[in-house]
Structure 1
């Protein structure tokens, strides 16, 4: 194939998003493809005074790029996969999942004396909030929005004891400070640490190019996690965590649904042969739903609807 078409790479314009897009650009160009970066602002970047779940759509960080792709302004788009809705718009498909980075969350702090007493922690994530309050019920959690750079700056300028970040994001742009602790007890967001590249279904050229970048092991794991999320009807509207990891021919999965204040917790922890993993995420979600999770999801949706 003659590599003549210039692949226009759509991306958000934050430092982290540009790092991700540039990573994809470098890999494509190393294969001989011509590329061009096209940064755009998303609604999620522009509206910083409302929690994510109040903005009305789970694809708040991806919708602008979806529209740009369908309008033929860009050919492909690069996302943090945890931000991508489990249901893609018609005409857009997953074209590559890149090798996964650090899956866990970290706490960036100003000293740890507060852990045994009352504390004030910042995060814009319902999942992180619920799990933190489950472990530290005496603490308070405040909302924190913006890209990783602005969130780090807000932590410095406020009286909070700490703020929770995805380790991968800070590591990718060399922003991880010395004053952090790993939260390996906190179940990550589905697909956390993974990067997804999407393309138009009809664009065979770009899909063929991106197939060279796909990491099958990461793809298998995030597929189970996102299937779990889809069945629970999550997105940004419920405190849901999920992590699948491969150990040889075995897949180990842990998923959970929490109440908004962290007082209720439904967990599934299972191991299965990779060859039997089709539909596994949905089956794990069904276990939670039938054991009380369905009632909790209805309660969460009702609470969030009335709080808008």
Structure 2
């Protein structure tokens, strides 16, 4: 039996680009599909920082509900937005090949770096890592889709704003006035796209499984295992990056206090055939260094 696969997506330009990429890949395999855009609560409420909204999966919940109500067959997400535990009845269908996972600073000149400055970001991870490196700077909240955030930067007196390189590259709005933040550890699964499907939908599972990129899947699962063990939601100041080269997995992870004054890091490598529990072991090392107390403090702040 063939059927038209209904692809659920957020309705931002970036999300639609991602969904259309999946649609094109499915059509190459001979599958018919249609896009079903929805607006998430994370897109609707731009006045509150994400961490204050107290919800993990704020950009994915609306699509989860649409899938459970049988309004869509699959959903395409930026994997870094997806909680480590998927809703009952929804499973991973495929992890697409990862794009650029770096964070970049879009700036109005760099003479502020060694003085006082104002940087914008809606991410606690980016805020904490920036303040750890530049403690004299001020970090302000920045929300909205990438186009909105770029415009807000242009209209403000801020010195710069931090973006995921992949987002700007995908919709071709990456400006010339940027620098790579190669010292900043990205969010777990940053730059990767995840396709989720219903557990009982064997047709869609089979269709999207052909799009899975094994090397990316290995890397992001280690990063998300690290995140899950630290018990951090998508907004916690946690960074993680795993790369696979010559059958060796290289991993670097971090946990910081919100103000950036405290930082714990771990860096390890392991053969690719010994990755079972690797992300968890890296997280244990962070927790034993003092990360356990830091996570407890973080949770207290989030409950206020």
TM range (shorter): over 0.9
Task: Name which of 104, 108, 117 aligns with 2:102.
Answer: 104
Distance in 2 separating the partners of 1:117 and 1:53: 28
- In the other structure, the counterpart of 2:212 is 214
Partner of 2:173: 175
1:145-168 deviation digits (Å, cap 9, x = unpaired): 000010000000000000000000
**Structure 1 position 54, deviation (Å):** 1.3
- Structure 1 residue 304: Cα displacement: 2.3
Q: Which runs of 5+ in 1 are unaligned?
A: none
Separation (CA, whole Å) in 2 of partners of 1:197 and 1:19: 14
Aligned match for 2:200, one of 189, 199, 202: 202
On the 8 A contact 1:52/1:236 being kept in 2, the answer is no
For 2:25, the equivalent position in structure 1 comes to: 27
8 Å Cα contact 2:56/2:83 also seen in 1: yes
Give CA-to-partner distance per residue, 1:84-122, whole Å, 9 cap, x none: 000000000000000000010000000000001000000
Match of 1:268 in 2: 266
| Counterpart Cα distance in 2 of 1:244 and 1:11 | 27
Partner residue, 1:189: 187
Aligned to 1:149: 147
| 1:172, distance to aligned residue in structure 2 (A) | 0.2
Write out per-residue CA displacement over residues 11-30 of structure 1, whole angstroms, 9 at most, x where no aligned residue: 00000000000000000011
CA distance in structure 2 between the aligned counterparts of 1:259 and 1:99, rounded to whole angstroms: 31
Q: 1:214-272 deviations in whole A, cap 9, x for unaligned?
A: 00000000000000000001123420000000111100000000000000001000011
- The whole-number CA distance in structure 1 between the counterparts of 2:234 and 2:92 is 20
1:1-308 to structure 2, matched below 5 A, reads 2=1, 4-306=2-304
Deviations 1:177-213 (A, max 9, x none): 0000000100000000000000001000000000110
Conserved? CA contact 2:80–2:234, under 8 Å: no
- Distance in 2, matches of 1:185 and 1:73, equals 42
Whether the 8 Å CA contact 1:237–1:301 is kept in 2: the answer is no
C-alpha distance in structure 1 between counterparts of 2:99 and 2:194, whole Å: 12
Q: List runs of 5+ in structure 2 lacking aligned partners.
A: none
The answer to whether the 8 Å contact 1:126/1:236 transfers is: no
SS in 1 for 2:234: helix
Distance 1:256 1:209 in 2: 36
Dislocated runs of 4+, deviation >2 Å: none
Task: Deviation per CA, 1:36-63: give whole Å up to 9, x if none.
Answer: 1000000000010111111121100000
SS class of match (1:24) = helix
SS in 1 for 2:56: coil
